[in-house]
Amino acid sequence: MSEEKKLSPVDTFKLESNYLRGDIPEELADGTDHFGKSSIQLLKHYGMYQQDDRDNRGKVKADGTKGKSYMFMVRTKLPAGSMTSDQMMKELELCDSLANETLRITSRQGLQFHGIQKDNLPELLQQLKKVELTTLGACGDVNRNVMCCPAPIKNNPVRTEMQEMSFKLAAHFAPQTPAYREIFLKDQETGEKEKIATGEVEPLYGVQYLPRKFKMGIALPEDNCIDVYTHDLGLIAIVENDAIVGYNVLVGGGQGRTPSAEKTFPALGKKLAFITPDQVVDVAEAIVKVQRDNGNRADRKVARLKYLIHNWGMEKFKAEVEKYYGQSLPEARDVEVHEFDDHKGWQDQGDGNWIYGLNVENGRIKDDETMQLKTAIREICTTYNPGIHLTAHQDILFSGIKPEDKSALEAILKKHNVTLSEDISNTRRWSMACVAWPTCGLSITESERALPGMVDQLEAELEKLGLADEKFTMRMTGCPNGCARPYNCDIGLVGRAKEKYTVFLGGRLLGDRLSYIYKDMVPADEVIPELTKVFTLFKQDRNEGESFGDFCDRQGKEAIEAAVAG
Ligand code: SRM
Ligand code: SF4
């Protein structure tokens, strides 16, 4: 068997799992607090990650033993970040009763619980099902949450159509295995089990599912709020006379890299074709099938679509997609993204009502002594029953707010010490961090818990420099996997060792340019002093109107280093 044909252990687990069933039912009932190797991988397809509290590693547990304190992260999949107030209330209730009393809005418009005990997993999923929420396909080697601009602007049919397209794609690419229902959603009283269907269970994914995760997102040229170039499959809506005439299809975007493996790299999606709205689902299916049948199943480090395209070249890839689709596809239009709306603050909904976009620092919804965001969201949901829309910047939009309720909604936030989006600095507004320590098993160092302090420091430095009004994106991750998309923003801070970061510069808010490594292994307490030197240079040498990211790109690493040293 050639190297390429050997299956990775994860692919073997999937292949032998009877559509993701494996040993999960038996292990769920075995009385321990964790699952075995194969089940851990299969469970990801159900939106569940086995984790342990890394703050508690090595400490004595309640039962007197030492070892890992196992717990689970569970992710709800929400296409376009869209949910109802009732669904949010249920998530809030469950985070208190079964999780660690917080919810986490993700960088892909999803919502996560942390700290779930193994025995509580079925109860959690059954409760979510009651409000029509699912975690199936939120993780694993399938199409993940489909991203789309979440703003529900009612007099803008374009946004509505894009959001409907994201729901359609999410439904079309959802895993079909009945094992999720059979294992976790069976009727607890009767103990009845749904039978595994006979015939073709997964017509699209097959027995082995995809070689790796797959991500789709839809954006507008004037609003790239979902970072369209970072997706395996990105769609940019082309609008003429207020109607979508089609989409530019981008393929092969992705962020993850492993510094020790040169074969890995972040990549921006490249133009494949222009397609009309009625072609979207079938062309997407052809692209997914090409990846399914040709993606690397031996080495998961290079199994994403971006590597297949890198190895084949775009011409061969396009020819293969056309073969699967059954006809040739026209060239993509000459359209790029040119704006980014974070939808924060008040926005006219277009039907007489309003949307409020609330900044949620790093997506964490919680109550503590300084701020009671969870309580505030509960009160807003029960008082106004707004539509809820999560953004790709880990924030929340409340829609359908009547004009006469605007100041009362603000009063609820203020009463619970939640800072209004209008009152935060640009630095904080445009920053985000991945979860990292203590739950993420892959984190090398802090991110969500480290970024706020760095933002405090940078805010003070920029104030002194008179640069407080600058608009730039700063994103941090606790390892190079790139979950907060740090490789195409103005400032990327990527965990490299304990309390040490790689500083990336030269990307920008639009997300259409990759950044370069400015400095590696920078100790946490030197990150802001290093950045302050570059901002000082920026103030001195920038062109009129030039953004920080554009300046860093124009100058380049060597010139900045020399100027800063001199
Ligand atoms: Fe991610 C793995 C969290 C968006 C690239 N990501 C993980 C895991 C599950 C760790 C693990 O495998 O054990 C993290 C769980 C942490 C925790 O405790 O909650 C995790 N990723 C997240 C979230 C929650 C970050 C956040 O703070 O918001 C995001 C959940 C999104 C969602 O709702 O689906 C999240 N992850 C992303 C993104 C951004 C995006 O998709 O727009 C990326 C970069 C884009 C991409 O995929 O290339 C991303 N996550 C990764 C990777 C690297 C993949 C690669 O191709 O190299 C891993 C590791 C892996 O897959 O092996 C990873
Ligand atoms: Fe974990 Fe790394 Fe993703 Fe951060 S970037 S959540 S540390 S995998």
CATH number at residue 67: 3.30.70.2500
Give tens-digit pLDDT for 246-272.
999 999 999 999 888 889 999 999 999
Q: How many residues does the chain have?
A: 566
Residues 50 and 112 in one domain: yes
Identify whether 61 is part of a domain: yes
Residue 103 near ligand 1, beta carbon < 6 Å: no
Taking alpha carbons only, the member of 352, 325, 362 closest to residue 106 is 362
Residues 58 and 182 in one domain: yes
Catalytic residue among 14, 215, 318, 364: 215
Separation between Cα atoms, residue 67 and residue 86, nearest integer Å: 39
Taking alpha carbons only, the member of 381, 346, 356, 400 closest to residue 154 is 400
Last residue within a domain, chosen from 306, 324, 341: 341
Residues 247 and 190 in one domain: no
Residues 404 and 448 in one domain: no
Model confidence band, residue 69 (pLDDT cutoffs 50, 70, 90): confident
Inter-residue contact 450 to 479 (CB < 8 Å) = no
Of all protein residues, whose CA lies closest to atom 16 belonging to ligand 1? 440
Give tens-digit pLDDT for 133-163.
999 999 999 999 999 999 998 888 899 999 9
Inter-residue contact 400 to 387 (CB < 8 Å) = yes
CB hemisphere CA count around 565 (13 angstroms): 6
Identify whether 154 is part of a domain: yes
Residue 3 confidence (pLDDT) above 60? no
Residue 496 near ligand 1, beta carbon < 6 Å: no
Residue 187 confidence (pLDDT) above 60? no
Q: Check residue 416 and report its DSSP letter.
A: T
pLDDT of residue 564: 94
Q: What is the DSSP pairing of strand 387-390 with strand 82-83?
A: antiparallel
Separation between Cα atoms, residue 4 and residue 333, nearest integer Å: 36
Q: Check residue 327 and report its DSSP letter.
A: S
User: In terms of residue numbers, what domain contains 70?
Assistant: 8-142+177-198
Identify whether 286 is part of a domain: yes
Separation between Cα atoms, residue 160 and residue 72, nearest integer Å: 35
Residues 326 and 382 in one domain: no
- Measured CA distances, 564 to 243, 473, 524 (Å): 49, 22, 19
pLDDT of residue 190: 53
Residues 125 and 55 in one domain: yes
pLDDT of residue 520: 97
Model confidence band, residue 326 (pLDDT cutoffs 50, 70, 90): very high
pLDDT of residue 192: 56
For residue 280, give both structure tokens: 């979207």
Residues 306 and 438 in one domain: no
Residue 77 near ligand 1, beta carbon < 6 Å: no
Catalytic residue among 144, 297, 304, 485: 144
Give tens-digit pLDDT for 465-507.
999 999 999 999 999 999 999 999 999 999 999 999 999 999 9
Based on the structure, what is the number of domains in the chain?
A: 4
- Measured CA distances, 80 to 118, 157, 163, 169, 334 (Å): 29, 15, 6, 11, 26
Identify whether 1 is part of a domain: no
pLDDT of residue 1: 39
Residues 161 and 276 in one domain: yes
Give tens-digit pLDDT for 347-374.
999 999 999 999 999 999 999 999 999 9
Q: Hey, is 395 helix, strand or coil?
A: coil
pLDDT, average across residues 530-543: 98
| Beta bridge mates, 254 | 267
- Amino acid found at 181: R
Residue 108 near ligand 1, beta carbon < 6 Å: yes
Q: Hey, is 284 helix, strand or coil?
A: helix
Residue 364 near ligand 1, beta carbon < 6 Å: no
Residues 275 and 351 in one domain: no
Look up tokens 């106004």; give the residue. 384
Last residue within a domain, chosen from 296, 313, 341: 341
Residues 168 and 300 in one domain: yes
Separation between Cα atoms, residue 431 and residue 419, nearest integer Å: 15
Question: Distance between alpha carbon 304 and the CA centroid of its chain, in Å?
Answer: 16
Residues 364 and 328 in one domain: no
9 CA distance to ligand 1 middle (Å): 20
Task: Please provide residue 519's backbone torsions phi and psi, each rounded to the nearest 5 degrees.
Answer: -145, 145
Taking alpha carbons only, the member of 354, 263, 260, 360 closest to residue 306 is 263
CA angle 285, 286, 290 (to 5 degrees): 115
Q: Check residue 382 and report its DSSP letter.
A: H
pLDDT of residue 57: 84
Residue ranges lining ligand 2, Cβ < 6 Å: 434-436, 440, 442-443, 447, 477-479, 481-483
Look up tokens 């160092």; give the residue. 445
481 CA distance to ligand 1 middle (Å): 7
Inter-residue contact 372 to 378 (CB < 8 Å) = no
Does the annotation mark 148 as catalytic?
Answer: no
Model pTM? 0.97
Identify whether 2 is part of a domain: no
pLDDT, average across residues 394-409: 98
Model confidence band, residue 530 (pLDDT cutoffs 50, 70, 90): very high
Cis peptide before 529 (omega within 30 of 0): no
Does the annotation mark 406 as catalytic?
Answer: no
Inter-residue contact 52 to 68 (CB < 8 Å) = yes
Identify whether 535 is part of a domain: yes
Inter-residue contact 80 to 169 (CB < 8 Å) = no
Last residue within a domain, chosen from 306, 341, 376: 341
Task: Please provide residue 40's backbone torsions phi and psi, each rounded to the nearest 5 degrees.
Answer: -55, -40
Mutate which of 483, 488, 489, 493 for ligand 1 pocket (most atoms within 8 A of beta carbon): 483
Buried b (16+ CB within 10 A) or exposed e, 470-483: bebbbbbbbbbbbb
* Rounded-to-5 percentages of helix, strand, coil across the chain: 35, 20, 45
Identify whether 270 is part of a domain: yes
Q: What is the DSSP pairing of strand 216-219 with strand 147-148?
A: parallel
> Of all atoms in ligand 2, which is nearest to the CA of residue 484?
5
pLDDT of residue 68: 86
DSSP assignment string, 51-116: EE-GGGTTSBPTTS-BS--EEEEEEE--GGGEE-HHHHHHHHHHHHHTSSS-EEE-TTS-EEEEEE
Residue 475 near ligand 1, beta carbon < 6 Å: no
Model confidence band, residue 65 (pLDDT cutoffs 50, 70, 90): confident
483 CA distance to ligand 1 middle (Å): 4
CATH assignment at residue 444: 3.30.413.10
CA angle 302, 304, 310 (to 5 degrees): 75
What order do you get walking across the sheet with 48-52 strand by strand? 48-52, 70-76, 111-116, 103-105, 364-365
- Amino acid found at 455: V
218 CA distance to ligand 1 middle (Å): 19
Give tens-digit pLDDT for 369-393.
999 999 999 999 999 999 999 999 9
For residue 193, give both structure tokens: 């089990």
Residues 45 and 189 in one domain: yes
Identify whether 205 is part of a domain: no
